[in-house]
Structure 1
Amino acid sequence: MKDPIDRTGLRPRFWERVPLKKMTPKEWEALCDGCGKCCLNKLEDADTGEVVFTRIACRLLDDDTCRCANYEVRKSIVPECVVLKPSNIAEIAYWMPATCAYRRLWEGKPLFDWHPLVSGDPETVHRAGVSVRGWTLPEFDIPVEEWEDHVIEEEL
């Protein structure tokens, strides 16, 4: 018997029962908590592989909503944008924030209580202080050679 689907088009608590590779596209997209951290530019040490986050946001990040301003065509506007999919999460998870639902589920960890799927409220991610709302810097305003000056403390 198939899982029932609610009015949002999502199976109840699907993230607890459905493997990432078996989620519907709508369920996959619903995992995004809207924190905006994945849209922060990162620096990776070529020798150690260490990844650090900066306050420098992708040019498409809307600092108020913490969402991509051109999500459907982001890859054509920002060719270096990494499109996360069930098929590439294993290669990408290491540079995603520790709070990210995709990374947490891939690592076998539960979602946080503030995640909108758990709380039922898309604002809880912001009230919990987990999002980048209001404190990013536009990538074109900061020269790349100065990005190291804007590294933030983010647990990976």
Structure 2
Amino acid sequence: MHNPDPVQEAPGYRPFWEVKPLTAMSHAEWESLCDGCGQCCLIKVEDEDTGGIYLTRLGCKLLDTTSCRCRDYPRRKKRVPDCISIGPDDISRLSWLPQTCAYRSLAEGRGLEWWHPLVSGDPETVHAAGISVRGWARSEKGVKPSAIARYIIGEAG
């Protein structure tokens, strides 16, 4: 349930994501933009011939497919060396991010959707709206590299 913040309810108040460019956000503000959908943690496959990037329904071994969050976020780069960190300077190069991603949305001049936890006040709305990988992604654990292509669900981005 959303508990209104008196500051946010004040006339003329505009949230940080509407007034600050991505590059001016604090670390805490940046991190809070993540809606917890888990889509960036899905395994991607690159077509060697075309360079196209395809999304699978396989989550990184650290992705909790119920919460759609990393099981070891602070140490993810050590445990998964090819984990992609997303920072303000990376956004223009990350066209594989889904259209629904807050980072991409703000970088493209769009706002946050109604289901984003910063807007709704509820981290469950991203799941209720069907944006997250909850219910359809599975872990890459136990999947042979030769079988990954079977899990492709479409082109990334």
Give the TM interval when normalised to the shorter protein: 0.7 to 0.9
Quick check: 1:97–1:154 contact (8 Å CA) kept in 2?
no
Cα distance in structure 2, aligned partners of 1:64 and 1:138: 11
**1:117 alignment partner AA:** L
TM-score, normalization by structure 2: 0.86
Whether the 8 Å CA contact 1:98–1:155 is kept in 2: the answer is: no
The 8 Å contact of residues 33 and 101 in structure 1, kept in 2 or not, is answered as yes
Is the aligned partner of 1:143 residue 2:144?
yes
Q: Is the CA contact 2:53–2:156 (under 8 Å) kept in the aligned structure 1? A: no
TM-score by length of 1: 0.87
Contact persistence 1:39–1:57 (CA under 8 A) = yes
What is the letter of the counterpart of residue 19 of structure 1? P
Q: Which letter does structure 2 place at the counterpart of 1:125?
A: V
The ranges of structure 1 where at least 4 consecutive aligned residues each deviate by more than 6 angstroms after the TM superposition are none
Partner of 1:66 in structure 2?
A: 68
User: Between the two proteins, what is the percent identity of the paired residues?
Assistant: 51
Whole-angstrom distance in 2 between the partners of 1:81 and 1:71: 10
Distance 2:153 2:100 in 1: 15
Structure 2 distance, partners of 1:154, 1:30, is 27
Aligned residues: 147
Inter-partner Cα distance in structure 2 for 1:34 and 1:54: 18
Cα shift at 1:45: 1.8
Quick check: which one's helix share is greater? 1
CA distance in 2, matches of 1:33, 1:100: 8
Alignment of 1:1-156 (within 5 A): 13-91=15-93, 93-153=94-154, 156=157
- Look up the equivalent residue of 1:80 and give its one-letter code: D
Unaligned runs of 5+ in 2: 1-6
Q: CA shift at 1:47, angstroms?
A: 3.1
Structural RMSD (CA): 1.8
CA deviation after TM superposition for structure 1 residue 49, in Å: 2.6
Q: What amino acid is the match of 1:131?
A: S
The structure, 1 or 2, with the larger RCO (C-alpha pairs under 8 Å, 6+ apart) is: 2
Aligned equivalents of 2:125, 2:155: Cα separation in 1: 19
Name the SS of the counterpart of 1:42 in structure 2.
strand
